[in-house]
Amino acid sequence: MFTSRRLVLTLGALSCTALVAACGSNPPQAEPGGSAATGSGGTVKVSEDKTLHDKLPAKVRTAGKLVSVNSGSFPPYEIAGTDGHTLSGASADLSAALGRLLGVKIEDVTADGLPSVLTGIKAGRYDFAMGPVGDFKERQGASDFVDWVREFVVFAVPKGNPKKITSLDTACGQKVAVMAGGSAEGVIKKQSRTCVKDGKSAVQVQSYKDQPSSVLAVKSGRADAFFSSQAPLTYFVKESKGQLELAGTGQSNGFDALYQGAVVPKGGELRDVLHTAFQKLIDNGTYGQIMKKWGLEDNQLKQAGINLAKS
């Protein structure tokens, strides 16, 4: 879901106007030969690891590129530019570093929502998704996950939290926005059934294809809350200039330990290459600098993992 520019994009600039495979050109910051990501501690130089390059699938080595698919803006990991072609954010910075380490170009394309991302990877239309995408047992049957962050799921609500949504239990009878096909959608729909079973009103679930649409639903009053990952919601709250706040923090909200990462075809050659590459970026400090740059220190993993989800 980079350059060293700051988080100054407005919410209206976060939509990728052309979908499916429209965001196909590689942003300058994702070129393998581009400058390394910088943090407050300086620049970590990343050079090609010939051993890792030689372990890439033959078609990737021949093409000299990996095609990475995303589902549009997922700040601060993936921020789609107003031109419909460029990406910035933590994921794009890591993609740039991966490209240099593996000695290939990372070409970004955008699909119409997460289901299309997962289906496209399984069908071989894309090499991988940088993500991070939620790693869950039910998804591991069709794809492998190279996990590189731990996430938490909370609510973004209007300032003052007028509907007093502080947990899943308090969402009964409320209008809650979620990303279509995401893990939060499944949890909130399950909660809605629990509400009805307990004699309360069902949650009015509103499913949107991307994060900006969900946030706009809350800001416009169409939804009472947006239920999603804490890192992007923190970004949107900051960008809302006092219109939104977080709620339901510091609790599980229907999730066990929640890992997210890159998605690759099940049992493919790319999985172990990316796993080793991520660990190298962790060990040499590149990963830590990028995560700090985007305010994601609390989401860092010390060890990259494969299919870490247990539920």
Q: Which two tokens stand for residue 95?
A: 């993609």
Cβ neighbours for 197, distance < 8 A, ≥ 6 positions apart: none
For domain 153-247, the CATH architecture is 3-Layer(aba) Sandwich (3.40)
At which residue do the structure tokens 């947990």 appear? 167
Query: Would you give the distance in Å from CA 140 to the centre of its chain?
Result: 17
Given a cut of 60, is residue 6 above it in pLDDT? no
Q: Which of 38-52, 88-102, 149-163, 219-233 has the lowest mean pLDDT?
A: 38-52
228 versus 34: which is more confidently predicted?
Answer: 228
Nearest to 78 by CA among 127, 132, 25: 132
pLDDT band at 73 (very low <50, low <70, confident <90, very high): confident
Kindly report each contact of residues 114-118 with a partner whose C-beta sits within 8 Å and lies 24 or more positions away, as own/partner: 114/71, 114/179, 114/180, 114/181, 114/182, 115/180, 115/181, 116/20, 116/71, 117/69, 117/70, 117/71, 117/263, 118/142, 118/143, 118/181, 118/263
pLDDT band at 44 (very low <50, low <70, confident <90, very high): low
Query: Would you give the distance in Å from CA 118 to the centre of its chain?
Result: 13
Q: Which two tokens stand for residue 266?
A: 């099940």
Query: Would you give the distance in Å from CA 301 to the centre of its chain?
Result: 15
Domain residue ranges in the chain: 11-151+259-306, 153-247
Distances (CA, A) of 222 to 175, 176, 188, 216, 217: 8, 9, 17, 8, 5
**Which CATH class name applies to 11-151+259-306?**
alpha beta
Query: What number of CA atoms fall less than 13 Å from residue 119's CA on the CB side?
Result: 9
Gap between the Cα atoms of 81 and 87, Å rounded: 6
pLDDT band at 65 (very low <50, low <70, confident <90, very high): very high
Q: Is 63 left (phi over 0), alpha (psi -120 to 50) or beta?
A: alpha
The reported pLDDT for the residue numbered 81 is: 76
Stretch 197-206: mean pLDDT: 98
Q: How many helices (H) and strands (E) does the chain have?
A: 10, 15
pLDDT digits 0-9 by tens, 261-273 = 999 999 999 999 9
Burial per residue of 120-157, b for 16 or more beta-carbon CB atoms within 10 angstroms, e otherwise: bbeeeebbbbbbbbbbbeebeeebbbbbbbbbbbbbbb
pLDDT digits 0-9 by tens, 78-120 = 987 777 667 899 999 999 999 999 999 999 999 988 899 999 9
Nearest to 56 by CA among 147, 143, 128, 121: 128
Residues of the chain above pLDDT 90, percent? 73
At which residue do the structure tokens 């393998």 appear? 32
- Domains 11-151+259-306 and 153-247 alike in fold: yes
The reported pLDDT for the residue numbered 153 is: 94
* H helix or E strand, kind and range, residue 194: helix 183-197
Gap between the Cα atoms of 21 and 70, Å rounded: 10
